[in-house]
Amino acid sequence: MNMRVAHIARNTFREAVRDRVLYNLIAFALLMSGAAILVGQISIDIERLVVVNLGLTAVSLFGMVIAIFIGIGLVSKEIDKRTLYTVLSRPVRRWEFIAGKFFGLAGTLVVNTLFMAAGVFAALLYVSRHFQHSDGWIMVALYFIVLQFLIITALALLFSSFSSPLLAAVFAFSLFVIGSFAEDLRGFAAMTQGVTKWLASGAAYLVPNFSALNIISMVAHEQGVSRQLIFYNTAYALIYTTMALSGAVLIFERRNLK
Amino acid sequence: MRPPGCSLSLRPQLLIIFYSDIASMAAIEILGLEKTYHVGFWRKKPKCALKPLHLEVEDGEIFGFLGPNGAGKTTTLKMLMGLVFPTGGSARILGMEINDPRMKAQIGFLPEQPYFYDYLTARELLNYYGQLSGIHTDRRKISEILERVGLPKDGDVQLRKFSKGMLQRAGIAQAILHDPKVVFLDEPMSGLDPMGRREVRDLTEQLKREGKTVFFSTHILSDAEALCDRVAIIHQGTLQGVGAVADLTASVQGKVEIVWQGNTVPASIRGLGADCHVTGDTVRAVIAEVKQDAALEALRRERLRLIALVPVRTSLEEYFMHKVQDAEQAAAVRV
């Protein structure tokens, strides 16, 4: 990786780690895992299913909140506080700044996910007393959750590069909600005709397909995941992330930093 | 050392010419740089922040860029730093375009009222900026820089605990950390106490002694007068004057102080608009230079003994006010 991108990424990671809000969110996620144990104990015979479902949902939701919450401020905060001036007056290109910010937050989210995943596995071990072979699929579900984080981080950066933090948060959160129902939107588009079909299909393919990346229920029911799905989801997430980041760079390259 | 882009087959004479060109090259060349913003939500109206600006700053000089708030100083600096894109014109720093990363490795910039990553310590901040500038910053080098800006014991303190003056010092430290050839300082004295301002002045002079070019914007005229080899005055986006402080102040219609023996002021001298003060048996009158002959003639007529005739030195502040008022009057006439 370009060294300047790496330095900016490291600094972004350091900022996130030293941000107290982040610790609150992690504490909440750990509480959710604890709650999963409690709910699991009162769910006769389906403890494992409840723990996996609740635990992974907590990892996903809190990760999304962190990605949106921090992502929307990555660029706008640097402009508002004028910290960007002393960065861009050095031999740093604007795309390097965007890339560094992205990798920094993505790294933070991966580390957070690892911590929260450890909490989920600890809860699972507590209720099941032992791990089983199908628990390996939980790792795939976590991998897909990380892919979702990459997409939402890139989108938050894209919105952050041209709008205020509040608007960027609204846009990113709306896309997260709509994207979580992307499969339903595609189903709706298939049932309609004429202009409505065009509009619905356009919207369905434009929004990120988070529902395809959500296999929490599948792994909770101990179902396996095909290699093909892993490959397609990886390719989809990487292409979508690259496109959103390219959009962010294109906008940011032309922006006057008043 | 071989100049970049030159082949070894060049004759020595050509190399000498090449080097002499570099030696005489201006550190900063601003060639008609201009900026117009479009303001408003629906029907956007153009607002001119900077009219075509032509300026040259010589290598190794301290250049003051003066103007009241909103004059266009910061806009100019932001365009030179590549933070704002010009509407027209161009600029070169050290002979390179303003967005050339090679050039940016050789300049330092302190923005106005700097704010830095407050979760970092001063040492971490300087280390980060050093990395971005592509230099190796070890603990000793950072300690030296912190010592130089008056923060020798604050290296391990988080910037969120810094006062405004300390932040300004940290800002100066990051601007000179990588030993740049040209240093841009936007209002470097702002937020500093008299002691701090003196230290920044000393530091700026030290940078000049090291052969660096310093371009700084300020509205504190006494600092500019004390420090600058040359200044430029900008008002409402238009350059009002540029030159050495002494040359600029000499260009303003001067005044003279006439001192004579006596305790009365003849009516003919009062009629010339003289500002008179009587102390004991001496009268001091300050009068416009153009009325000097008439005043001396009046003294001769009244048979008063002339003691001294001294030109009153115009301050940069007077020159500045004169230029700003001229610009405002011209703008009012246009309206």
Interchain CB contact of A14 with B (< 8 Å): yes
Q: Of B78, B83, B178, which to mutate for an interface test with A (greatest number of A Cβ within 10 Å)?
A: B83
Distance CA B134, CA B180 (A): 12
Reading the block at residue B159, the tokens are: 């910037």
* Nearest chain A alpha carbon to B81: A89
B132 CB neighbours in chain A (<8 A) are 4, 7-8, 87, 90-92
- Specify the pLDDT at position B314: 66
Residue B10 confidence (pLDDT) above 60: no
Say yes or no for a CB contact (<8 Å) between A82 and B120.
no
Residue B123 confidence (pLDDT) above 90: yes
Mean pLDDT confidence for B72-84: 93
B77 CB neighbours in chain A (<8 A) are none
**For a pLDDT cut of 90, what percent of chain B falls above it?**
37
Torsion of CA A115, A120, A121, A127, to 10 degrees: 150
Interchain CB contact of A19 with B (< 8 Å): yes
Q: What secondary structure, in 3-state letters, does B7-50 show? A: CCCCCHHHHHHHHHHHHHCCCEEEEEEEEEEEECCCCCEEEEEE
**For a pLDDT cut of 70, what percent of chain A falls above it?**
95
**pLDDT category of residue A69 using cuts at 50, 70 and 90:** confident
Distance of CA B178 to the CA centre of its chain: 22
Q: Of A90, A94, A96, A254, which to mutate for an interface test with B (greatest number of B Cβ within 10 Å)?
A: A90
CB atoms inside a 10 Å sphere around CB B206? 12
B134 CB neighbours in chain A (<8 A) are 3-4, 91
Smallest Cβ distance to B109: which of A18, A86, A256?
A86
The residues with which B275 forms a beta bridge, in sequence order, are: B286
Residues from B contacting A (CB-CB < 8 Å) are: 37, 78, 81-85, 101-102, 104-105, 107, 109-111, 113-117, 119-120, 128-129, 131-134, 171, 174-175, 184
Reading the block at residue B203, the tokens are: 């530091």
- Specify the pLDDT at position B288: 86
Reading the block at residue A141, the tokens are: 């579900």
**pLDDT category of residue B313 using cuts at 50, 70 and 90:** low
Query: What value of ipTM does the predicted structure carry?
Result: 0.85
Mean pLDDT confidence for A121-150: 88
- Specify the pLDDT at position B180: 94
> How far does B165 lie from chain A, in Å, by closest CA?
17
Reading the block at residue B144, the tokens are: 């030296």
Mean pLDDT confidence for B292-311: 89
- Specify the pLDDT at position A152: 95
Residue type, B294: A
Residue given tokens 């300390």 in the structure block = B166
Mean pLDDT confidence for A53-63: 88
- Specify the pLDDT at position B318: 72
CB-count exposure of residue A126 (10 Å: 0-12, 13-18, 19+) = middle
Reading the block at residue B331, the tokens are: 């703008």
The residues with which B287 forms a beta bridge, in sequence order, are: B256
Distance CA A100, CA A86 (A): 15
Smallest Cβ distance to A88: which of B83, B110, B175?
B83
Distance CA A109, CA A157 (A): 14
- Specify the pLDDT at position A220: 85
Residue given tokens 């050789």 in the structure block = B106
* Closest to B49 (Cα-Cα) out of B24, B69, B21: B69
Mean pLDDT confidence for B275-291: 87
Distance CA A40, CA A61 (A): 19
Q: Tell me which DSSP letter residue A257 carries.
A: -
Question: B234-252 pLDDT, tens per residue?
Answer: 988 899 888 887 777 766 6
DSSP A118-185: HHHHHHHHHHHSS--GGGHHHHHHHHHHHHHHHHHHHHHHHHHTTS-HHHHHHHHHHHHHHHHTHHHH
Say yes or no for a CB contact (<8 Å) between B132 and A88.
no
Max mean pLDDT range (A153-162, A235-244, B140-149): A235-244
Contact assessment for residue A54 and residue A77, using Cβ atoms and an 8 Å cutoff: no
Say yes or no for a CB contact (<8 Å) between A92 and B132.
yes
- Specify the pLDDT at position A45: 72
**pLDDT category of residue A58 using cuts at 50, 70 and 90:** confident
Question: B171-222 pLDDT, tens per residue?
Answer: 999 999 999 999 999 988 877 788 888 888 888 999 999 999 999 998 777 7
Burial profile A28-60: b = 16 or more Cβ within 10 angstroms, e = fewer: ebbebbbbbbebbeeeeeebbbbbbbbbbbbbb
CA distances from B101 to B82, B90, B120, B303 (A): 10, 16, 26, 73
Residue A174 confidence (pLDDT) above 70: yes
Contact assessment for residue B111 and residue A81, using Cβ atoms and an 8 Å cutoff: no
**pLDDT category of residue B19 using cuts at 50, 70 and 90:** very low
Tally of residues, chain B: 335
R_g (Cα) of chain B, nearest Å: 25
Higher pLDDT, B138 or A245: A245
Distance CA A62, CA A26 (A): 8
Higher pLDDT, A19 or A204: A204
Residue B8 confidence (pLDDT) above 90: no
Residue A203 confidence (pLDDT) above 70: yes
Smallest Cβ distance to B109: which of A11, A89, A257?
A89
Interchain CB contact of A93 with B (< 8 Å): yes
- Specify the pLDDT at position B37: 87
> How far does B182 lie from chain A, in Å, by closest CA?
12
Residue B16 confidence (pLDDT) above 70: no
* Nearest chain A alpha carbon to B184: A89
Sign of CA dihedral B112, B117, B119, B120: negative
Calculate the average pLDDT of chain B.
84
B101 CB neighbours in chain A (<8 A) are 91-93
Q: What secondary structure, in 3-state letters, does chain B show? A: CCCCCCCCCCCHHHHHHHHHHHHHCCCEEEEEEEEEEEECCCCCEEEEEEEEEEEEECCCCEEEEECCCCCCHHHHHHHHCCCCCCCEEEEEECCEECCCHHHHCCEEEECCCCCCCCCCEHHHHHHHHHHHCCCCCCHHHHHHHHHHCCCCCCCCCEHHHCCHHHHHHHHHHHHHCCCCCEEEEECCCCCCCHHHHHHHHHHHHHHHHCCCEEEEEECCHHHHHHHCCEEEEEECCEEEEEEEHHHHHHCCCCEEEEEEECCCCCHHHHCCCCEEEEECCEEEEEEEHHHHHHHHHHHHHCCCCEEEEEEECCCHHHHHHHHHHHHHHHHHHHC
* Nearest chain B alpha carbon to A82: B115
Distance CA A256, CA A214 (A): 39
Say yes or no for a CB contact (<8 Å) between B128 and A7.
yes
Question: A156-167 pLDDT, tens per residue?
Answer: 999 988 888 899
Mean pLDDT confidence for B97-121: 90
A70 CB neighbours in chain B (<8 A) are none
Mean pLDDT confidence for B149-155: 90
Reading the block at residue A28, the tokens are: 């909440």
Interchain CB contact of A89 with B (< 8 Å): yes
Burial profile A105-120: b = 16 or more Cβ within 10 angstroms, e = fewer: bbbbbeebbeebbebb
- Specify the pLDDT at position A163: 85
Say yes or no for a CB contact (<8 Å) between A90 and B104.
yes
Residue B280 confidence (pLDDT) above 70: yes
Contact assessment for residue A154 and residue A241, using Cβ atoms and an 8 Å cutoff: yes
Say yes or no for a CB contact (<8 Å) between B119 and A89.
no
Say yes or no for a CB contact (<8 Å) between B132 and A7.
yes
- Specify the pLDDT at position B31: 93
> How far does B239 lie from chain A, in Å, by closest CA?
21
> How far does B175 lie from chain A, in Å, by closest CA?
8
Residue B109 confidence (pLDDT) above 90: yes
Residue given tokens 């948060």 in the structure block = A169
Sign of CA dihedral B78, B80, B84, B89: positive
Looking from the CA of A94 toward its CB, the CA atoms found within 13 Å total: 21
The residues with which A121 forms a beta bridge, in sequence order, are: none
A11 CB neighbours in chain B (<8 A) are 117, 120, 128
A84 CB neighbours in chain B (<8 A) are 83
Residue B89 confidence (pLDDT) above 90: yes
Mean pLDDT confidence for A134-138: 86
Distance of CA B111 to the CA centre of its chain: 14
Q: How many CB pairs lie under 8 A apart between chains A and B?
A: 80
Residue B23 confidence (pLDDT) above 90: no
Residue B254 confidence (pLDDT) above 90: no
In A154-193, the residues whose Cβ lies within 8 Å of chain B are: none
